[in-house]
Amino acid sequence: MLQGWVVISTAVIYIGILFAVARFGDSQKRRDTGSRSRPYIYALSLAVYCTTWTIFGSVGFAAASGLNFIAIYLGPILIITVGYPLLQRVVLLSKSQRITSVADFVGARYGKSAVVGGVAAIIAVVGTVPYIALQLKAISYSVSTLISHNVSELEASALQFEDLTLITALILAVFAILFGTRHADATEHQHGMMLAVAMESVVKLFAFLGVGIFVTYWIFDGFGDLLAQASQRGIIEHYIDQGFDSTNFTILLILSTLVFLLLPRQFHVAVVENKSSHELAKARWLFPLYLVAINIFVIPIALAGLITFGSSVPPDNFVLALPMSQNSALGSIFAFLGGLSAGTAMVIVACIALAIMVSNHIVLPLLLKQNANQGSAGPRNMEQLILNIRRTTIFAVLIAAYFYYQAADNTAGLVSIGLVSFAAIAQLAPAFFGGLFWRGANARGALWGMVTGFSIWGFTLLLPTLLPSDNPLLQNGLFGWSILRPEAMFHLNLSPLGNGVFSSLLLNTIALVIGSLSRPANALEQLQATLFVQQGARSLPDGELANSNVTVGDLMDTVAQYLGDERTARSFEARHARKNSKPQLTDLADAGLLQYSEQLLASAVGASSSRLVHSLLVKRFDNSSFSELKLLDDASQALQFNRGVLQTALDQIEQGICVFDSEFRLSSWNRQFREMLNLPVSVGTAGTSLSRIIREIVERNQLAHSGLSEEVFTRNLVDQKRSWQFELPAEGQIIDVRSASMPQGGLVLTWQDNTDRVLSAKALS
């Protein structure tokens, strides 16, 4: 067996390398290099999804349930391949809204509601703590297993190394603080952390493949030998007799599909850390390949463990126990490093994501409201306060995970603990995905849904992990009613997991619908719903004065409290340069600058807290008797109403119409415009460039064959002295085009089908 000092030294050296890689990543950022490798780093960082559950738990799950473990990885593959347009949409929305976390996304969708964002953050924290506890359990347990003198005495050895869990938690806390809380701006990319996470993805992949090859081709004589011996011992027949549990597989598939984007760590690396569409495109094929590769040897290792140990060793320990049974120090270290890399990556990223959520959606809103009630502006250096809150949160989350590890049922397998966390995070799904597709969903519905679903989850899934199995509540149900037994609620004929997942998500969705229908959405909820459902994000016009007395200097001072003087000055100067404007500090801030500063502030404190900061700022300088929130809601409602009237009018006109702003980006259009020119739905999006629309018209209607290239088409549109015509060869339609410039810049185009008039004129002539 390995000596204790060898195992501990290996872990320490590995953590040291991790620190070195993270520092190297940060230095590369400063030198502005490494851009070519960035898409690969991004794709590999998505493998933070693969935790100790993958390295140890999947083998145990496969040993007990056969192929059901595949559902856990099939869901993410479906999201990043079939659901790729949805993933793109979430990333684009998050970038345009400066969203910092999954709780921020949910809060921003529902009118930038601080309450909705806060509840989402609480669910994320409570749901992730058991998952972090799982990693701590697996890491400390693997150390104690390696040092054990007898592979079958795993339970006894684990009791001798409980302090390893606490030590592990503290080391990971230090790493997360050093490389994840350097800047208050949560949208600023953590290059060092991402490089370290990508490296860990490579380590755990090669470690698991190494163990799989060792087991399959060293201990046994290949896959054929494994299958033959498993068949001789009746293991294959047992799986056949057990059958395929399609119900459980479906529940696992639904869970993994829903939570892939909603897990705090996954949202952070996939959305917040994303820099370009090229990274997403690379991850679209690389990440599924990674998931397939890391699961190739799950079944062989499970079969090998059952053949070698039977029921004498817990299946979750097969990955470690098999090399140890052969006295292979190298194989044992490989297995240990695979688990260590998987666990540390998850804990580090999850803690950073949770720290951002807790600071932005729980602590800061409370502090801001307290300061407002006391008439205080708060501390000058809010940036340092935010960082201190996040650092404290990281320690608090890891200590909470440690205590959960101590309090929870220690006989529970890695997969069962992980599924409890999955089910908790899934309670965000109705509000998250419903908000992307149903414009009528509002903050009350989201709040009712999340609170209802989370309560049912706590009762049906979390409580049973904390109570002994013979507890009267588990045996007899709440109030002695069997219909309210936590693990068999409503007498559903499902497994305890299936019962909890189905009942919580069903009641969550029902509450979302009832709550949303119980009152109309307010103006800001309607505005945000339009942005999220129709992807029509638009900026407020520059130069239009806001209804307040806030100056440019006031805005900069407020933002600087959270982002620091240097970054604030740099950001405002960059915007002024883009807009070719040079406002003085004493000038009143226009509507566009107010919106920009709110988005800038959102990158540090989230959309909900940013709106609260701005509303308090405007109210402080507003001489009127109305609050800024009322002014904003009235303005938003008027904007929403007028836009609705305009759209209705445009859709009643026979001609196709499209309007472009001063930057020649689409701002208004009607259905006839797209249908007449055979354009895809994706073109009908606010912000689409004129050049792209021209390219689509020319390519889809094959106009180049008739000599009408993109250049000629553009030149004809710019010539506003006359109308002109062109023919759509496939339909034989004659389209008349008229263009007119707008007073403040921009272009209005009208398109009319003149086929009948032209043909009649030809017939008469």
**Predicted confidence (pLDDT) per residue in 608-624, tens digit:** 666 666 666 665 555 44
Query: What confidence tens digit (pLDDT) does each residue in 257-268 have?
Result: 999 999 999 999
Least-confidence region, from 45-49, 251-255, 684-688: 684-688
In the structure encoding, which two tokens stand for residue 536, read together? 């029509």
CB-based contact 136:434 (threshold 8 Å): no
Q: State yes or no: pLDDT of 38 exceeds 70.
A: yes
Separation between Cα atoms, residue 389 and residue 193, nearest integer Å? 20
Separation between Cα atoms, residue 140 and residue 165, nearest integer Å? 5
pLDDT averaged over the chain?
A: 80
541 pLDDT band, cuts 50/70/90, is very low
Total length of the chain:
765
- DSSP H helices, 580-665, are 591-621, 628-651
Instruction: Classify domain 4-31+53-515 at the CATH topology level.
Output: Sodium/glucose cotransporter (1.20.1730)
Better-scored residue on pLDDT, 90 or 573 = 90
Give residue for tokens 């009018």: 649
CB-based contact 693:751 (threshold 8 Å): no
Q: Quote the DSSP letter at residue 745.
A: S
> Amino acid letter at 656?
G
Q: Helices 414-425 & 58-65, crossing angle to 10 degrees?
A: 100
Q: What is the pLDDT of residue 155?
A: 45
4 pLDDT band, cuts 50/70/90, is low
Better-scored residue on pLDDT, 432 or 575 = 432
Separation between Cα atoms, residue 650 and residue 644, nearest integer Å? 10
Cβ neighbour number for residue 304 with a 10 Å cutoff: 27
Query: What confidence tens digit (pLDDT) does each residue in 397-417 have?
Result: 999 988 887 776 555 555 677
Separation between Cα atoms, residue 151 and residue 324, nearest integer Å? 7
Separation between Cα atoms, residue 193 and residue 255, nearest integer Å? 28
Query: What confidence tens digit (pLDDT) does each residue in 645-696 have?
Result: 566 667 677 788 888 876 777 877 888 888 888 888 777 776 788 888 888 8
Better-scored residue on pLDDT, 431 or 727 = 431
* Helices and strands in the chain, H and E counts: 36, 5
Separation between Cα atoms, residue 477 and residue 493, nearest integer Å? 16
Least-confidence region, from 208-217, 311-320, 753-762: 753-762
Going through 350-460 in order, the beta strands assigned E by DSSP cover: none
Q: Helices 114-147 & 102-109, crossing angle to 10 degrees?
A: 160
Least-confidence region, from 20-34, 280-294, 333-347, 503-517: 20-34
- Name every residue whose Cβ is closer than 8 Å to that of residue 3 and which is 6 or more positions away in sequence: 147
Separation between Cα atoms, residue 765 and residue 761, nearest integer Å? 6
Give SS3 for 425. helix
Burial class (CB in 10 A: 0-12, 13-18, 19+), 642: exposed
Q: Quote the DSSP letter at residue 589.
A: P
Q: Give the pLDDT mean for 276-285.
A: 88
Separation between Cα atoms, residue 754 and residue 757, nearest integer Å? 5
535 pLDDT band, cuts 50/70/90, is low
Highest mean pLDDT among 36-45, 137-146, 171-180, 584-593: 36-45
Strands across the sheet containing 733-741:
666-669, 656-660, 747-753, 733-741, 724-728
Q: What is the pLDDT of residue 277?
A: 81
Q: State yes or no: pLDDT of 72 exceeds 50.
A: yes
Give SS3 for 197. helix
Q: State yes or no: pLDDT of 635 exceeds 50.
A: no
pTM: 0.72
Q: What is the pLDDT of residue 191?
A: 80
Handedness of CA 511, 516, 522, 528 (dihedral sign): positive
Q: State yes or no: pLDDT of 631 exceeds 50.
A: no
Least-confidence region, from 132-141, 458-467, 492-501, 718-727: 718-727
Q: What is the pLDDT of residue 544?
A: 44
Query: What confidence tens digit (pLDDT) does each residue in 441-496 have?
Result: 999 999 999 999 999 999 888 888 777 777 777 777 777 777 778 777 776 777 88
545 pLDDT band, cuts 50/70/90, is very low
Separation between Cα atoms, residue 311 and residue 45, nearest integer Å? 36
User: 653-764 falls under which CATH superfamily?
Assistant: PAS domain (3.30.450.20)
Separation between Cα atoms, residue 712 and residue 693, nearest integer Å? 14
Q: Give the pLDDT mean for 8-16.
A: 82
Q: What is the pLDDT of residue 119?
A: 95
Query: What confidence tens digit (pLDDT) does each residue in 191-206 have?
Result: 888 898 999 999 999 9
Separation between Cα atoms, residue 497 and residue 250, nearest integer Å? 12
Every domain of the chain with CATH number 3.30.450.20 lies at 653-764
Burial class (CB in 10 A: 0-12, 13-18, 19+), 382: buried
Least-confidence region, from 54-58, 315-319, 436-440, 531-535: 531-535
Phi, psi of 226 (to 5 degrees): -60, -45
Q: State yes or no: pLDDT of 136 exceeds 80.
A: yes
571 pLDDT band, cuts 50/70/90, is confident
